[in-house]
Structures are given as structure tokens and as C-alpha cells.
Amino acid sequence: MILTPDNEYAAVLDACVLYPMPLCDTLLRLASEPSFYRPLWSEQILHEVGETMEKQGYSKEQRERRLVVMREFFPEALVDVPEEIIKAVSTLPDLKDCHVLAAAILSNANAIVTQNTKHFPQKCLEKYGILCQSADDFLIHQYHLGPGQILGKLDEQAANNKEERSCLVANLAKAVPKFAELVASDNPG
């Protein structure tokens, strides 16, 4: 599916799905042409990714390189989120997540993709027409839109990592077990 302004599905990717790398790589490959959706994030989300990478022992150069590459490949993904907007949407259980909701509202996103779905109750999102999905559910939905294309993107990712798709899927299973099981059972290899 090639996205056009008329059929574009946009999703804010929370920091927790932009790390670990295999999951981030898969999500961003699905946003590359031919794309399944348009990824979105804010500076605060990218800052959180950098902090997580630092806690995991990545060097400053590795962290900066990763974020620079993301910005270069997806310059349109960055959503400017003014502080006053974050304060205006302080309806979430964890106020530290309000910047994610603000980014979704300002960008007219269809969804927030996060591993912390409890932080984004549907009752807080429905008035904005935003869906909260786990990375697992999001990837399963994308798979059903174009299984052959998804498998092709996974094969490309595995080849770039110099590994078999089965190894990549095993790595993905740590973060997205249902998606990994679906991919493995539908088309082993």
C-alpha cells in the first residue's frame, strides 16, 4: 500500500517501541516505501529513547547516530509539541505520558503505539479519535493488510543483519510475541 494524503494512517511511536533495536527497525521498515503507515514522534520521545540507550550502555556516539539516522530517514515524523499543549491534555494516569498524547493530537495521528497501553486508557483518547495499540497488535494489523509485503520487509531486515528470518523473528518475540508467532506459523523460514 503506497500512502497518499487520502489514505494515510499515522501513528505516534512511543519511546518504549523505539527501543529495543529489532522492534524499532521493524516498525520503521514498515514506514519505508512502500509504507504501511506514517511514523510520528516528538523531541521528548527521542530524548527518552536516548536515555534508555544510555542506561543500556550505548555510547554517546551510538545514541546520537541512531537518533540522527531516524531524523534523516523520517524528517516529517517530528512533531513540535509546545509545553502548554502538554499541560492542556493532562488527563492521563501517568502525567509523564501527556507529551505522547499531545503529539498524537497535534499531528492528527490515528494511533499511539506503545508497550504501556495501560498508560493510555481509551476513555482519555476517544474524544480525540485516537487508538492506543501495543506494538504486537499494531504489527499484527499491519501484517493482515499485506502479509507478503511484511514478510518481504522482514526478509530485508534479516538480510541486513546477516541472519535468517527465523533468528530475527526469535529476537522480535521478546517484544512482540503474538506477531512473531503469527509470522513464524504462517510462513516459517
What secondary structure does DSSP assign to 111-158, as a single string?
EEE-S-GGGS-HHHHGGGT-EEE-HHHHHHHHHHH-HHHHHHHHHHHH
- Indicate whether 13 pLDDT > 90: yes
Mean per-residue pLDDT, 91-113: 95
Decide if domain 10-19+38-134 falls under CATH 1.10.340.30: no
Instruction: Tell me 162's DSSP state.
Output: T
pTM comes to: 0.93
- pLDDT value for 186: 76
- pLDDT value for 188: 47
pLDDT band at 6 (very low <50, low <70, confident <90, very high): low
Each residue's pLDDT tens digit, 32-63: 998 999 999 999 999 999 999 999 999 999 99
Mean per-residue pLDDT, 147-164: 96
Please state, for a pLDDT cut of 90, what percent of the chain lies above it: 88
- pLDDT value for 1: 41
- Indicate whether 91 pLDDT > 60: yes
Dist. CA 134–CA 116, nearest whole Å: 7
Domain residue limits, the chain: 10-19+38-134
- pLDDT value for 3: 46
Mean per-residue pLDDT, 123-147: 96
Dist. CA 86–CA 98, nearest whole Å: 6
pLDDT band at 2 (very low <50, low <70, confident <90, very high): very low
- Indicate whether 159 pLDDT > 60: yes
What is the sign of the dihedral through the CA atoms of 163, 15, 72 and 4? Answer: positive
Mean per-residue pLDDT, 98-110: 97
Number of helices (H), then strands (E), belonging to the chain: the values are 10, 5
Q: Are 135 and 175 contacting, i.e. CB atoms less than 8 angstroms apart?
A: yes
The region of weakest confidence among 52-61, 64-73, 106-115, 180-189 is: 180-189
